[in-house]
């Protein structure tokens, strides 16, 4: 897969996607990078630590978060995207489910869309992704579906619908990445079950992204604060890689780069 100007060989390497929230209310780092220069500085630190993709988000998706209008989301993310695109050749992903935000972001320098609605939200987003030919990460979002009661069955139901929509929009098969949606409308036990059964997603023949970094499943289980969840995050990274994850979306870059490399070597020497 090509993202931006980079070739991603998922057979050879596990790639790290760095989370850059330019929001005032994200669950772990809200407010820390709510400024274009601070966001740029953090992004440059990520590059030094070995990040492969930087995922910029202008709206918190934590439970109970305040809805953000497109114009406000764009005010938060466009300057960091432009500044970063001018200084590094690391692919920039944008975490949005809005078509107008996606299009403006791509024009500003983004080269991938990360859609928490899994192409089942704003129709315009699917049209934009198809038109510009950028990769898209399609995530299961159990908050927006009728559930069957079985998390693995729900995952298949949701992703099959997402892939049908992708085909209808004209999005190329080789541009699609799948994300099981850890923590989105599901319990900790269900999230752990998804990670344990992540290899089930291999049947779709697409790269798999895992995003469990600092999420409630970790800090609630360990009775910690979100920013104290590094060790738990590393556990999900290692198990995720062994179960087939190709991209790991995280806050802490250096540690997860190292963890994923060792996990990949273990897998390579199975």
- Compute the average pLDDT of residues 2-19: 97
Residue 268's pLDDT band (cuts 50, 70, 90): very high
- Compute the average pLDDT of residues 239-247: 98
Q: What is the pLDDT of residue 35?
A: 76
- Please write the tens of the pLDDT for every residue from 54-100: 999 999 876 666 788 999 999 999 999 999 999 999 999 999 999 99
Which residues are the active-site residues? Answer: 215, 249
Strands 247-250 and 136-139: unpaired
> Buried (b) or exposed (e) across 16-52, using 16+ Cβ within 10 A?
bbbbbbbbeebbbbbebbbebeebbebbbebbebebb
Walk me through the domains of the chain, giving residue ranges and CATH numbers.
2-268 (3.20.20.20)
| Sheet of strand 247-250, all strands in order from the earlier edge strand to the far edge | 176-179, 136-139, 112-115, 92-95, 53-57, 15-21, 247-250, 209-210
CA 8-95-23 angle, to 5 degrees, is 135
Q: What is the pLDDT of residue 252?
A: 96
pTM of the model: 0.94
Taking the CA atoms of the chain, what radius of gyration do you get in angstroms? 17
Q: What is the pLDDT of residue 27?
A: 46
Residue 33's pLDDT band (cuts 50, 70, 90): low
* Helices and strands in the chain, H and E counts: 9, 10
- Is the pLDDT at 28 greater than 70? The verdict is no
| DSSP SS3 for 210 | strand
- Please write the tens of the pLDDT for every residue from 172-203: 999 999 999 999 989 999 999 999 999 999 99
Residue 36's pLDDT band (cuts 50, 70, 90): confident
Q: What is the pLDDT of residue 227?
A: 86
CB within 8 A of 265, min separation 6: which ones?
none
- Please write the tens of the pLDDT for every residue from 126-169: 999 999 999 999 999 999 999 999 999 999 999 999 999 999 99
């Amino acid at each position: 897969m090509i993202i931006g100007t980079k070739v991603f060989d998922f057979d050879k390497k596990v790639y790290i996607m760095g989370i850059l929230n330019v929001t005032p209310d994200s669950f772990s780092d809200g407010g820390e990078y709510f400024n274009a220069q601070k966001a740029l500085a953090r992004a440059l630190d990520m590059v030094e630590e070995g990040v492969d993709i930087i995922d910029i988000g202008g709206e918190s998706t934590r439970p109970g978060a305040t809805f953000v209008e497109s114009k406000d989301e764009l005010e938060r993310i466009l300057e960091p995207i432009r500044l970063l695109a001018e200084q590094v050749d690391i692919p920039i992903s944008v975490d949005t489910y809005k078509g107008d935000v996606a299009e403006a972001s791509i024009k500003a320098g983004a080269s991938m869309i990360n859609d928490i609605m899994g192409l089942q939200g704003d129709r315009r987003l699917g049209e934009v992704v198809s038109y510009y030919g950028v990769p898209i990460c399609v995530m299961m979002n159990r908050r927006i579906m009728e559930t069957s009661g079985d998390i693995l069955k729900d995952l298949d139901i949701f992703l099959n619908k997402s892939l049908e929509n992708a085909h209808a929009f004209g999005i190329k098969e080789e541009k699609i990445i799948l994300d099981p949606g850890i923590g989105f409308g599901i319990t900790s036990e269900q999230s752990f079950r998804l990670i344990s059964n992540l290899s089930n997603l291999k049947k779709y023949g697409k790269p798999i992204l895992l995003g469990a970094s600092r999420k409630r499943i970790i800090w609630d289980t360990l009775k910690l604060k979100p920013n104290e969840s590094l060790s738990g995050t590393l556990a999900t990274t290692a198990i995720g890689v062994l179960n087939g994850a190709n991209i790991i979306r995280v806050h802490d870059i250096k540690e997860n780069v190292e963890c994923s490399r060792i996990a990949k070597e273990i897998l390579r020497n199975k």
